[in-house]
Amino acid sequence: MANENPPPKKAASNLYLGFDISTQQLKLIAIDDNLELHTEVAIEYDNDLKEFNTSGGLHAGADGVSYTAPAAMWVKAFDLMFARLEERGFPFGRVVSVSGCGQQHGSVYWKEGAQKVLQSLDSSKSLYDQLIDRFSIANSPVWKDASTTRQCRMLEEAMNGPEVVAKITGSRAYERFTGNQIAKICQEHNSDFKQTERISLVSSFGPSLLLGDYASIDYSDGSGMNLLDIHTKDWNQTALDACAPGLRKLLGVPTPSCSMLGTISNYFVQRYHFSADCKVCAFTGDNPSALAGMRLQQGDIAVSLGTSDTLFLWLDEPKPQLVGHVLINPVDSSAYMALLCYKNGSMTREWIRDKYADKSWEKFEKMLASTQPGNGGNIGFYFTDTEIIPVGVKGCFKFDKDDKKVEDFSPEEEIRAVVEGQLMAKLSHAQHLGYHVNSNTRILVTGGASENIGILQVLADVFGAPVYTLGGTKNAACLGGAYIAKCVYTDPSSFAGALQTAPQYTLTAQPVASVHQVYKDMLPRLQKLESDLLSHINDSE
């Protein structure tokens, strides 16, 4: 018999948003109650906002070490993102919670009076038109900047040495860390600095737009500033005082990463028809957010191959060293994460690709496959930008099988050398931090280059462990924001509990034992060459 009553119409699922204000793009992922991907959008600064004239999302200074991005460009990217979503008929009214992340360390300087403007945004106008003049420093220093060596030494001196800074803040003083960047702005642009009402991280700047008020800095991204005590989770007064006067007020009170800040501002309710109940959660740094997006477990190692390459691990106990960083864990504020960051990531691989493989990743992969693992003994170090690990090195250095310095390899060998050199160095530095691959190790990979199977095979072979990628997206950082939004909305006490139905990882590359042996044999040579390079640089300083 035919069913006379049609089945009741299923209510449309809630949606959860994750933003990522990354180096090259503003990205957004929307997921539903089943954690399935609903929408993914990206605004590329270089191509979609050409008027800002950025390259890779940034402006490089003439000195070769300064990097900034216009805060107004990020604001305009939000306008464009919402306009694109509206064009597609995106159901804003179904969004119940929003979170996200941003490139770490960058800082945004809000001018006196900006809070009032944020609190009373006019929904008939763009964010850009209302906020363009509201930054006391128009060009925000970002993570690629390495111009604050002097300020780093001053901080280490004020705190009685790099070991003490590392022990308290999780890292020794690093050039890109926000406290040192703020110190430089305060010293070199003092009259503009004095007009500053609030300093946001790139991450806390995002929710400030959505809330229509200043959003707190979260513990995890706050750990990338050299200002936060990672044990007490409060600002360290000596560090604050060493960087600039009045910083405690300018930075606001830090908050746990998985926390609700308030509801979305009227501006978004009126202009895009968001529900007035939509929650706005704290945003965090892109690396902590990728840890959340990958649902990293103790024992896993995560590798993000984005503009920067990063490698991170879950830590129960903080044991800060002079190399690498310890951050408060974004999904469990009582735990920590270790982070290694490399400035020479995708942009350096892209440089080699453009030079030797006609700007094609397909050709790059073919040329990589045409050479043998181990590259006939050739080893290359490629630092097109001043590197973070090893600190301060810039230039390309190539060695043959007898460790003799050479000018060039063949194009195919150059491609293999950049991939093998970068990945072997990561294993070496992780081992230095005490990390050991065991039989349960999973390498979870994300970021733009996680599409490149050739690179992932080298990663599996170098580490001797299987490599997994996330199904559905290569943007774990953005996804992590959406997961945090869901977790804060449904069960703030258990991140894992809120994500039980998340999709499985895909096994993408298995290590080959004989090839792993080739890299194991080569590793001591790479380590020796790297330390020789460093002592050369230190001698010539």
Q: Where along the sequence are the contacts to ligand ADP (CB under 6 A)?
A: 22-25, 306-307, 346, 349-350, 361, 447-449, 451-452
Q: Which residues within the stretch 191-220 sit at the binding site for ligand XUL (CB under 6 A)?
A: none
Q: Least distance to ligand XUL from the beta carbon of 144, Å?
A: 8
Residue 340 structure tokens: 């290694």
Closest CB to ligand XUL among residues 200, 308 = 308
Residue 176 interacting entry, from ligand ADP, ligand XUL, none, C-beta within 5 to 8 Å by type? ligand XUL
Report the alpha-carbon distance of residue 28 to residue 207 in Å, rounded: 13
Closest CB to ligand XUL among residues 374, 448 = 448
Residue 475 structure tokens: 């943007």
Q: What's the start-to-end Cα distance of the chain, in Å?
A: 89
Report the alpha-carbon distance of residue 529 to residue 400 in Å, rounded: 11
Q: Least distance to ligand XUL from the beta carbon of 158, Å?
A: 22
Continuous segment of H or E residues that includes residue 216: none
Q: Which residues within the stretch 141-170 sit at the binding site for ligand XUL (CB under 6 A)?
A: 143
Closest CB to ligand XUL among residues 76, 105 = 105
Q: Least distance to ligand ADP from the beta carbon of 366, Å?
A: 12
- Residues 291, 312: contact at Cβ < 8 Å? yes
Q: Least distance to ligand ADP from the beta carbon of 94, Å?
A: 26
Q: Which residues within the stretch 34-63 sit at the binding site for ligand XUL (CB under 6 A)?
A: none
Closest CB to ligand ADP among residues 185, 470 = 470
> Quick one: DSSP state of residue 255?
B
Closest CB to ligand ADP among residues 318, 380 = 380
Residue type for 446, please? T
List, edge to edge, every strand of the sheet that includes 379-383: 379-383, 395-399, 405-406
Residue 133 structure tokens: 């003049």
Closest CB to ligand ADP among residues 142, 437 = 142
Q: What is the DSSP string of 292-332?
A: HHTT--TT-EEEEESSSEEEEEEESS----SSSEEEE-SS-
Closest CB to ligand XUL among residues 218, 413 = 218
Phi, psi of 351 (to 5 degrees): -60, -45
Quick check: 176 binds ligand XUL (CB under 6 A)?
yes
- Residues 304, 281: contact at Cβ < 8 Å? no
Quick check: 105 binds ligand XUL (CB under 6 A)?
yes
Phi, psi of 384 (to 5 degrees): -75, -20
Q: Which residues within the stretch 275-334 sit at the binding site for ligand XUL (CB under 6 A)?
A: 285-287, 306-308, 310
Residue 105 interacting entry, from ligand XUL, ligand ADP, none, C-beta within 5 to 8 Å by type? ligand XUL
Residues near ligand XUL (CB under 6 A) are: 23, 103-105, 143, 176, 224, 285-287, 306-308, 310, 339, 341
